[in-house]
Amino acid sequence: MTDTVSDIEEILVLHHSHLDVGYTHSQPILWRLQSEYLSQAMDWLEQTADLPEDCRPKWTCEATEPVRRWLADAAPEQVVRFKELCDQGRIGLSALRWHVSATIDRPGLRRLVAGKPELEDAVGRAIKVACQHDVNGVPWPIADELLDAGVDLFVTAVNRHLGAPVAPRPGVFDWQAPSGRTLRVFNGSHYTMFDQLLNAWDDSVDRMVEGWNAFHARLRSSGYRLPFVYLTSTCSPIMWDNAPPNPFLPDLIRRWNEEGRGPRIRYATFDDLRERVMRIPEEDVVTLRGDWTDYWSFGVGSAPAATAVNQRSKPLLAAAATIGADASLVAEAADRVDLFDEHTWSHWNSDPANEQARAIETMKQAGAHEGHELAAFAVMDGLERLARNPVADKGIAGVLLVNTADHPRTVTPDLPASWFASTTPATERTYRASRMAYENRPWRTPAPDEARRRFGRVDLAPRSWRIIGVGDLPEPVFAQQPTHEIVHQRNAARELNFAAAVDRVAAFGHIESPFHHLTYDAASGRITSLVDRATGREILRPRPGMDLLSFIRERPDALVEDSRRAFYQRNLDREMLDESCWEPWTPVHTPAERVLHHAIEESPGRVTLVRRFAAPGVRSLIQRIGFDATDPVIHITIDIDLAGDASPTGIYLALPLALEEGWHATFDTAGHRVHLDDDQLPGASRGWVTTESSATMWDESGAVTLLTPDAPLIQFGDFHFGPPPNAIPRDQNPLLLSWIANNYWDTNFPQVQNGPLALRYGLLTLPTPNPHPITKQADLFRTPPLTWPVTTGGRPASEGTL
Q: Kindly state whether residue 424 falls inside one of the protein's structural domains.
A: yes
801 and 691 in one domain?
yes
More confident residue, 481 or 7: 481
The CATH number assigned to the domain holding 221 equals: 3.20.110.10
When pLDDT is cut at 50, 70 and 90, the band that residue 789 belongs to is very high
What is the spatial distance between Cα 602 and Cα 600, in angstroms, rounded to a whole number? 6
Contact 629, 644 (CB under 8 A): no
307 and 235 in one domain?
no
What is the spatial distance between Cα 21 and Cα 484, in angstroms, rounded to a whole number? 52
User: Would you state the pLDDT for residue 490?
Assistant: 81
623 and 761 in one domain?
yes
Q: Kindly state whether residue 352 falls inside one of the protein's structural domains.
A: yes
344 and 226 in one domain?
no
pLDDT tens figures, 527-537: 999 999 999 99
Q: Kindly state whether residue 31 falls inside one of the protein's structural domains.
A: yes
606 and 751 in one domain?
yes
Of 120-134, 411-425, 493-507, 701-715, the least confident = 493-507
User: Would you state the pLDDT for residue 64?
Assistant: 98
The backbone torsions φ and ψ at residue 573, rounded to the nearest 5 degrees and listed phi first, read -65, -40
When pLDDT is cut at 50, 70 and 90, the band that residue 3 belongs to is low
Strand ordering across the sheet containing 634-642 = 594-603, 606-614, 618-628, 634-642, 755-766, 702-707, 694-699, 664-669, 672-675
When pLDDT is averaged across residues 116-123 and rounded to a whole number, the result is 96
pLDDT tens figures, 773-787: 999 999 999 998 999
Q: Which of 289, 306, 338 is the last residue of a domain?
A: 289
Q: Kindly state whether residue 79 falls inside one of the protein's structural domains.
A: yes
Report whether pLDDT(29) > 70.
yes
What sign results for the dihedral spanned by CA atoms 440, 444, 449, 454?
Answer: positive
720 and 696 in one domain?
yes
Q: Which of 289, 312, 338 is the last residue of a domain?
A: 289
User: Would you state the pLDDT for residue 784?
Assistant: 86
Q: Kindly state whether residue 497 falls inside one of the protein's structural domains.
A: no
Q: Kindly state whether residue 479 falls inside one of the protein's structural domains.
A: no
What share of residues in the chain are helix, strand, coil (percent, to 5)?
30, 30, 40
pLDDT tens figures, 266-283: 999 999 999 999 999 999
Report whether pLDDT(644) > 60.
yes
Residues 6+ apart with CB under 8 A from 756: 305, 639, 640, 641, 642
User: Would you state the pLDDT for residue 498?
Assistant: 66
What is the spatial distance between Cα 798 and Cα 606, in angstroms, rounded to a whole number? 29
State the residue range of the domain holding 642: 296-447+540-556+589-802
Q: Kindly state whether residue 481 falls inside one of the protein's structural domains.
A: no
Average predicted confidence (pLDDT) for the chain: 97
Report whether pLDDT(1) > 80.
no
User: Would you state the pLDDT for residue 2?
Assistant: 54
310 and 207 in one domain?
no
User: Would you state the pLDDT for residue 499?
Assistant: 67
* Number of domains, the chain: 2
pLDDT tens figures, 444-498: 999 888 999 999 999 999 999 999 999 999 999 999 999 999 999 888 776 776 6
195 and 274 in one domain?
yes
Long-range contacts of 348-351 (CB under 8 A, 24+ apart): 348/23, 348/24, 348/241, 348/747, 348/748, 349/747, 350/745, 350/746, 350/747, 350/748, 350/749, 350/750, 350/751, 351/751
When pLDDT is averaged across residues 655-684 and rounded to a whole number, the result is 98
316 and 175 in one domain?
no
The whole-model pTM stands at: 0.96
Q: Kindly state whether residue 799 falls inside one of the protein's structural domains.
A: yes
301 and 259 in one domain?
no
261 and 192 in one domain?
yes
Q: Which of 289, 319, 354 is the last residue of a domain?
A: 289
Classify 563 as helix, strand or coil.
coil
311 and 331 in one domain?
yes
Percent of the chain with pLDDT over 90: 96
